[in-house]
């Protein structure tokens, strides 16, 4: 078996080169999470149209975005401020 495929240290989301946060996914699992986020985002917009159910729509978007940030935090490179090739700390 390929040990790299099942490695727990493999990041799904790389750190951004500039700033704080994560970039686009680099594994199929990361892409699956990313695509699922956008599908659910569109579904939330259809279920809770912003012009009719703004509070429910905002709650759904906050919940989905919080879940995405949690997955990025858990399966992404450690978050810290980066400035190109040199880190600030």
Residue at 59 is within a domain = yes
**Strand-pair partners of 82:** 19, 87
- Higher-pLDDT residue of 86 and 20 is 20
When divided into structural domains, the chain yields a total of 1
Residue at 7 is within a domain = no
Express each pLDDT in 41-80 by its tens digit: 999 999 999 999 999 999 999 999 999 999 999 999 988 8
Residue at 72 is within a domain = yes
Does position 88 have pLDDT exceeding 80, yes or no? no
Residue at 61 is within a domain = yes
Supply the range of the domain harboring residue 49. Answer: 44-76
Q: What is the pLDDT of residue 7?
A: 52
Q: What is the pLDDT of residue 6?
A: 46
Residue at 29 is within a domain = no
Does position 27 have pLDDT exceeding 50, yes or no? yes
């Amino acid at each position: 078996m390929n040990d790299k495929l099942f490695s727990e240290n493999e990041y799904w989301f790389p750190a951004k080169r500039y700033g704080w946060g994560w970039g686009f996914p680099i594994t199929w699992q990361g892409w699956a999470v990313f695509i699922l986020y956008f599908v659910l985002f569109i579904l939330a917009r259809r279920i809770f149209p912003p012009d009719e159910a703004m509070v429910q729509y905002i709650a759904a978007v906050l919940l989905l975005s919080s879940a995405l940030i949690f997955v990025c935090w858990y399966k992404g490179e450690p978050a810290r401020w980066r400035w190109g090739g040199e880190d600030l700390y």
